[in-house]
Structure 1
Amino acid sequence: MSTTRPSPDRDARRPEEPAPRGRGPGRWKVALVTLAVAALLGAAVWVVLGSKLLVVRSVEVTGTSLAPRDRVVAAAGIRLGLPMARLDTGEVRDRVARLREVESVRVKRRWPATVRIAVRERVPVAVVARSGRYHQFDRHGVAVADSAARPPRLPALVVAAPGPSDRVTLAALGVLHGLPDRLKRQVAEVTADSPATVTLRLAGGPTVVWGGADRTEEKVRLLDGLRRTPAGRTARTIDVSSPEVVTTQ
């Protein structure tokens, strides 16, 4: 009876059984790092949105002269103590822009605790006397201020229904806005019955029938040239409404 022994080569080729896989330290490290990151993110969100570390503590206002600072701050409606990140700068901008003195406004956060409101005010260019008061209008026909005394250096605006939606008002103010500064400073009064019948009364000088707001440069050049002539220096009225035919009286 013979006995068969296993071949050494066959045993060598037999694959080893895999060792049981245990929970190594790598998994614990990943879990700890994940928890730490989550905690940091949560703390950051709390600091920005929920804590009292980054809240509105002051409001800065720049660019105002017609509108008092207190009115701008009241219109902005910013609650002190509000988390900076929760401030809606667009809503603040829209509220401040409703003030009649304001033409445009920018609102910015200045971390950690300040809100800055930069105002660009409307510029009065003419004054309307009405009901015993003087109302100052900007070039868009918006009444930006009023007073009991007439403001100096502003020409009078004489139209039937002054306002930002009135075509006659906009035409008269458009003519005034288009004049060079040296001529604009001489205007004492601007009147109009229609957009095409604007008339300028110059202080210490003639009345100028201007017409519409078109061909401004050409009309200015003709007016300057005519005022240097003997006829222009003595004229009470100069009509440049039709540049092809300039007349004097």
Structure 2
Amino acid sequence: MAGSTTAERGERQQESSGPPPAGRFRPPRLRTIVVLAVALVVAGAGTVWLLYGSHWLRVGQVSVSGTRVLTPEQVREAAEVPVGAPLISVDTDAIASRLRQKLPRIDVVDVERSWPRGIDLKVTERTPVLLVQKGGKFVEVDDEGVRFAVVSQAPKGVPALELSLSRADSRAASLRRFGEDRLVREAVTVAGDIPAAVARVTRTVKVRSYDDISLELSGGRTVVWGSSEAGAAKARALTALMKAAPGARHFDVSVPTAPASSTS
């Protein structure tokens, strides 16, 4: 058989040197790679300059929200936000830590960047549920048992906490076993379980031991609560007892399944 002609071989060579089949990757040319690399470097340098060197993205204002007792100025002063610094470089975690350390009244704080020039401080203050009298002042205690502030005037509607822990009697054993902080937390738990109508007239939460907590209400009325256990059941029992015996002055819900009341 005769071999391929010169023309046929030329056609085959032309076909093999033509464009690559569809779907086959063609590597970019060196010039394209260089142009892209230069563009990325320029864009990166511009971004860095904009964030760190530009005066447009520097801290210019600090806003405060959520305060009740504290003033916005107190929060700003404690936060020590570096006004004038690049906004991107501000350590928001450090600011939050400073606020909680310097202002124990703050329970939760969110520190957020507000582009292009602001820092927002959103605080939630602790709410006192009990007061411990100390000299002529009052220590505020929140619902976690944290003693967070000393005030000269008692807030309205917040009962006093009285720790009657005599070390000379059997109550000393309760104090040694649980500790004063634990007993304060037990009182806080009781304060949180008191029915709303009763809480409004509660003047004192008295703690003698872990299982001997009582309430002193307005008008000389008293409630024997017992321990902080079964608080919801005790609250229901007290509400029902007060409705059934409106003239009673003493109530005992230490055993909620067998509550009792008396007029003397």
- Confirm or deny a common fold (TM above 0.5): yes
Cα offset, 1:30, TM superposition: 4.3
1:5 alignment partner in structure 2: none
Distance 1:180 1:222, change over 3 A: closer
Tell whether the 8 Å contact from 2:62 to 2:76 is kept in structure 1 after alignment: yes
Residues 1:225 and 2:240 are matched in the alignment: yes
- Give the structure 2 partner of residue 190 of structure 1: 205
How much has 1:80 moved relative to structure 2?
Answer: 0.8
Q: Show the counterpart of 2:53.
A: 50
* Corresponding residue of 2:105: 101
Relative to structure 1, the CA distance from residue 224 to residue 30 in structure 2 (aligned partners, 3 Å threshold; closer, same or farther) is closer
Which residue of the partner structure matches residue 237 of structure 1? Answer: 250
1:70 is aligned to 2:83: no
**Is the aligned partner of 1:247 residue 2:238?**
no
Tell me the TM-score normalised to structure 2 length: 0.76
TM-score by length of 1: 0.81
Identity rate of aligned residues, in percent? 30
Say which structure is richer in helix.
2
Alignment partner, residue 144 of structure 2? 140
C-alpha distance in structure 1 between counterparts of 2:42 and 2:218, whole Å: 75
**C-alpha distance in 1 between matches for 2:37 and 2:146:** 60
Partner of 1:87: 90
Alpha-carbon spacing, 1:226–1:160, altered in 2? closer, same or farther (3 Å): closer
Select 2:225's aligned residue among 210, 213, 233. Answer: 210
Q: Give the match for residue 122 of structure 1.
A: 126
Over 3 Å counting, the alpha-carbon distance change for 1:27 and 1:157 in structure 2 is same
Aligned to 1:31: 34
- Equivalent position amino acid for 1:34 in 2: A
Q: Which residue number in structure 2 is paired with residue 23 of structure 1? A: none
Residue matched to 2:24:
none
Residue 162 of structure 2 is aligned to residue 149 of structure 1: no
Q: Which amino acid aligns with 1:245?
A: A
Residues 181, 11 of structure 1: alpha-carbon distance in 2 compared, 3 angstrom cutoff: closer
Q: Which amino acid aligns with 2:51?
A: V
Structure 2 letter corresponding to 1:43: G
Q: Does 1:158 align with 2:162?
A: yes
SS at match of 1:228: helix
Q: Which amino acid aligns with 1:241?
A: S
2:116 alignment partner in structure 1: 112
Given the superposition, is the C-alpha separation of residues 28 and 194 from structure 1 closer, same or farther in structure 2, using an over 3 Å criterion? same
Question: Which sections of structure 2, spanning at least 5 residues, go unmatched?
Answer: 15-28, 166-178
Structure 2 residue identity aligned to 1:32: V
- 1:77-104, Cα deviation, whole Å (9 max, x unpaired): 2111111111121222222122210111
Cα deviation, residue 223, structure 1: 1.9
1:59 aligns with 2:50: no
Shift of residue 107, structure 1, vs aligned partner? 1.0
Cα distance in 2 for residues equivalent to 1:237 and 1:56? 61
1:169 has 2:172 as partner: no
Q: Deviations over 1:154-210 (max 9, x none)?
A: 21111269xx97011111111111223222112111110222211011112620000
Contact 1:66 1:145 in 2 (8 A): no
Q: CA deviation at 1:151?
A: 2.5
